[in-house]
Structure 1
């Protein structure tokens, strides 16, 4: 018998990963000593020489990845320095080098976060979507702030995230319920932005924000209604109800 320490569940078969969180399982012969022989036989069949799961050495790959990240950051700094110099020598009341710098900074952040943090792609999607929102506002501010970042760009980011989640749920039919928590986070973001919209101080055009709210609400509502019991089980597991 194997056990997942994260979910605190026992797995009766010879799976190497938890069916809920995909974490590595630990073999526990104390709870089921009769299955120890079966486990060892299974280990021999799969080429394992011991009870512990053998993993390849990823140190060289990690070193190469760290080198690529450092090289990318260094090149970005050099390129931005050159762009600032060109912008200074050919200045025409447009600080376009700052826009390029923001883009390079976001690209470096995405690269570092994607490869250095052992997080699920769902969390990476959420973090990058949240991070790009102030980036868009900053770009709008540098260009003289006309409000396009809040009125159009941010609602479009939310709508695109909803579409991406829907596509991933259709593709990953065996684990579609794992996207429910991400949908809840999006709803929270929509609620915050909607409150700001209702104040009348931040949004000049609320049409796109309303569309984003409707899309997010329909996606979560449809997931809960058509997901039925698996969706309810996922919510209980996530919130420990």
Structure 2
């Protein structure tokens, strides 16, 4: 049987890493898995993708409509549509390939944001990366993590830390708001509000699980 030294727990079945903390395991794995692998229901997956698709399309149409009805001198709705498209892509890929997909969402959030800031700086800094791309990507990442965790009924240990990481990153636009470098503040306000709500919910209703997962990750 496998053994995880940081968690001080024996792990049954066939695992490459500890399912509790993700660390290395010692010992010999069992010859057979403790539980059979259950194939996903294709009809259920298809229905979920359809719901996500129509939700993303509806959100994009609403953003464009608001931009037309309330002119702001810039087509900010195009960036909102891009953020929705990224969120839709994260969610769909997560449904089709959910193995460690939540980790990829966080990394993609950081990578896309960094590339957007770099591109904006190289092209003369017009501020679109801070006003639209970064808050939209952060909001999309948080929603993607929540949707995937809900759809697949993931336990706290699989998504809680990553959700908090996305929420903490989503507070960064607050700096942009206080420094006054933004001309369009709506995406940043929404991003910060969603981040603070998520953090507050986890601290109030799920603080024990959060403390447990942080302790395991830091081996406290």
Q: TM-score, normalised by structure 2?
A: 0.56
> By how many angstroms is 1:218 displaced?
1.6
For the pair 1:194 / 2:174, whether they are aligned, the reply is yes
> In 1, are the aligned partners of 2:171 and 2:195 still within 8 Å (CA)?
no
For the pair 1:238 / 2:214, whether they are aligned, the reply is no
Q: TM-score, normalised by structure 1?
A: 0.52
Distance change (3 Å), C-alpha of 1:234 and 1:172 = farther
Deviation per CA, 1:118-167: give whole Å up to 9, x if none. Answer: x9433322222111113223444566643222111211101100100101
2:14 counterpart SS class: coil
> By how many angstroms is 1:217 displaced?
1.9
Q: Where do 1:12-91 residues align within 5 Å? A: 14-17=12-15, 18-21=18-21, 25-27=25-27, 43=31, 46=32
For the pair 1:215 / 2:214, whether they are aligned, the reply is no
- Long gaps (5+) in structure 1: 29-38, 48-118
For the pair 1:131 / 2:130, whether they are aligned, the reply is no
Look up the match of 2:3.
3
CA RMSD between the two structures = 3.1
For the pair 1:166 / 2:146, whether they are aligned, the reply is yes
Distance 1:154 1:148 in 2: 9
Distance 1:230 1:189 in 2: 21
2:170 counterpart SS class: helix
Look up the match of 2:101.
121
Deviation per CA, 1:47-81: give whole Å up to 9, x if none. Answer: 9xxxxxxxxxxxxxxxxxxxxxxxxxxxxxxxxxx
Looking at CA atoms only, which structure, 1 or 2, has the larger radius of gyration? Answer: 1
Which structure has more RCO (C-alpha within 8 Å, separation ≥ 6)?
2
> In 1, are the aligned partners of 2:167 and 2:195 still within 8 Å (CA)?
yes
> In 2, are the aligned partners of 1:16 and 1:25 still within 8 Å (CA)?
no
Deviation per CA, 1:86-125: give whole Å up to 9, x if none. Answer: xxxxxxxxxxxxxxxxxxxxxxxxxxxxxxxxx9433322
Distance 1:24 1:141 in 2: 41
> By how many angstroms is 1:10 displaced?
2.3
> In 2, are the aligned partners of 1:180 and 1:220 still within 8 Å (CA)?
no
Distance change (3 Å), C-alpha of 1:173 and 1:223 = farther
> In 1, are the aligned partners of 2:21 and 2:216 still within 8 Å (CA)?
no
- Long gaps (5+) in structure 2: 34-98
